[in-house]
Amino acid sequence: MVIKLFNRDTVYSPNQQLYGYTVLKVIGEGRYGICYLVFKDNKHFILKQLKRRILEKTRQKINFEAEILSVTQHESIPKFIKKIGNKDFFGYILEFKAGKTFEEIIFEDNYIFKRKEIYSIAIKLINILKYLHGINVVHRDIRVPNILYNNGNLYLLDFGLARWVDNKKYTADVDFSYIGDFLLHLYYTSFETKSIIGKPWYKELDLSAKESLFLKRLMGINKRYGNIIEVEEDLLSLSIDIQSES
């Protein structure tokens, strides 16, 4: 069955056939597209359907995700399989990665992350960003719905806003504030509200001076890091401190 919504794109329901792929379920919808879990030849894939109004307004921009993913070769980034579609439908097929997003882990499972876990996760994320920045790609959307976790493995998803670094409009350091915001979500899982008066995170959270400075530099409150290597060096130092405390 195909569901047509007023002023919205067609949403395909389970068992619908699309270009040889069987739709299993919708797994997410954002501003630019709808993502489905699909099945073909005994394998799962992700089908990303791009929305028509976005195509009409920003057709040139939608090619960046496919272009960038088609050249990335990293085990923590879904592989680009192929483009599909016609004049009425445009999308592409991506490798399926199993796991839960951090949005699900934090807000549905109510999981509380320990400090060691936070730094282990952060190091994995930095390793992905080292690769991307090394090939001149800035992700620009590192958020809890776009990072998948499964048995210690971390996957970075949704490259819809990713761009080639040109050091003018698109700079690699944009990703740093996203990293900081992501880490704050992990820190706040263990936060217990003690006051009804809202305070900034660096006053609410129980952080060491080094942790606070690290996050402030990521967020641009203090002097921003110059590159991902500097971020990694301070992160590894913090991780050693946490290990020595236990």
Binding residues for ATP: 48
Structural contact between residues 45 and 29, judged by C-beta atoms closer than 8 angstroms: no
Structural contact between residues 176 and 234, judged by C-beta atoms closer than 8 angstroms: no
The binding site consists of: 48
Residues with Cβ within 8 Å of 119's Cβ and at least 6 positions away in sequence, in order, are 235, 238, 239, 242
First to last CA, the chain: 56
C-alpha 27/C-alpha 45 separation (Å) is 12
CA distances from 53 to 10, 74, 88 (A): 12, 32, 12
How buried is residue 108: exposed, middle or buried, by Cβ count under 10 Å (0-12/13-18/19+)? exposed
Structural contact between residues 154 and 125, judged by C-beta atoms closer than 8 angstroms: yes
59: tokens are 């057709």
